Homo-oligomer: A and B are copies of this chain.
Amino acid sequence: MSQTLRERLLNELDTIVLIDPHTHIDPHQPAARTLADILGYHYYTELAHSAGMLRSDVEEPDLAPREKVRRLVAHLEPLQNTIQYSWLIDIARSFFGFADEHVTRDNWEGLYDAAQRTLSATDWPQQVLRRSGLEAVLLTNDFDDPLEGWDTSVYVPCLRTDDLVFRLHEPAVGQRLAAVTGVDLASPRALREALARLFTRFTARHARACAISLPPGFTPIPICASRAETAWDAICRAPQQCGEDERQTLAHFVFWTLAELCADFQLPFDLMIGVHRGVYRGGVYQGQDLYDSRVSLIQYGELFNAFPQVTFPVSVLASVANQELTSYAWIFPNVVTSGHWWYSNTPAYIEHDLAARLEVVPGTKQIGYYSDMYKLEFGLPKFRMYKRVLAKVLAERFVIDRGWSETRALELGRQVLRGNVDRVFGPAGRAGRPRP
């Protein structure tokens, strides 16, 4: 019974038109141009490298797309068990008419050419969105992105703030901020003004979120004016020589200011908690980051207390932090569970984490999934993977274990897949927090 039930639920979930609440899509080039843009996704380069491929094989300058694909295909066999490989096959079959079980040295050229024919259609981005059931995607924009030249109702801007929080002590970053805002960054007060101008510019272009990824040790605290000034002065005077202490003070100051601006501008603040950058120094591009799972949301207690009017969609990198996430979202009105991030974005962890969330976090406070994709083609296989797990959990844990009707289970599915995305990131997006 369970399998046909899952099938039925999946088919229904598949009819829902979605908004993808977090992607890295380039709105000027949202879809792949060649198969190399798909196989060049870090999941494939890093796994192929992990299984024996030299980094230089794919990072050679001026490597032609066809050659890049040829080299990667030669290292795909050890990856055939992975869920990431299944996304590739799903893309190949769904979009490029691929009929084989595996992409191999023997058949990749046919696939490459078939992909080429499909991808070169001028309306391909619109096609792939439609065929993937996607209505819009949220982006991840640098703070100095001009935000011009695309339809922001389909490619919705989102202010990414990692550089501002963690690299503002680097002169180049400060110069970019000064340039784009026209503010002379002479003081923390001027910094705040510059940040406020970013928010004005982003919200004018219909930005729907502010977002940041954070290392495991980060613990937001407010910084008093005088301490911020001392740190900022030291950094401006001698950026190369300033110590870790000044840098951290600046990071805390900027982070807290961003939270204040999210309150002022009514933007949700996406927190993606737990990544250590550059752990594997010999790794391929975007394949060097890992984590320390020893992180607690207690570190964010003061932030959640200080900003009851800001909605925080929170992602955690390690599945062992998921129970804290569910508990904090169960207690704090302004904390929302958000998707299944990166190393936890695999069926086994999604199933475990999703089951825990669905049974204790208010149904209105769960953002089911985001794709995190760089190219639109990945929306379909990633959301499909998620929906398969969602159908399994709804079937086994709600319809079977708790005696729910299928209709009721599907309503919950719709709510986490779409309803809450509208609710949190919609024009009037506000989670279920008390109105002040």
Contacts and interface: CB of A to CB of B under 8 A. Distances in A.
Interface of A: 1, 3, 46-47, 49-55, 78-84, 86, 101, 276, 279-283, 287-288, 290-294, 296-298, 301, 304-305, 308, 318-321, 323-324, 326-333, 343-344, 346-349, 352, 355-356, 358-365, 388, 392, 397, 400-402, 408, 412, 432-435
B293 A324 contact: yes
A418 B308 CA distance: 45
Contacts of A327: 290-291, 343
Contacts of A364: 51-52, 78
A434 B49 CA distance: 7
A365 B50 contact: yes
Contacts of A347: 359, 397, 401
Contacts of A331: 46, 50, 279-280, 283, 287-288, 290
Contacts of A344: 323
Nearest to A430: B52
Contacts of A397: 347-348
A86 B402 contact: yes
A341 to B, nearest CB: 12
8 contacts: A3-B400, A50-B365, A55-B434, A82-B362, A280-B301, A280-B331, A293-B323, A349-B356
Contacts of A324: 290-293, 318
Contact of A78 (B84, B304, B360, B365): B365
A285 B364 CA distance: 22
A21 B280 CA distance: 27
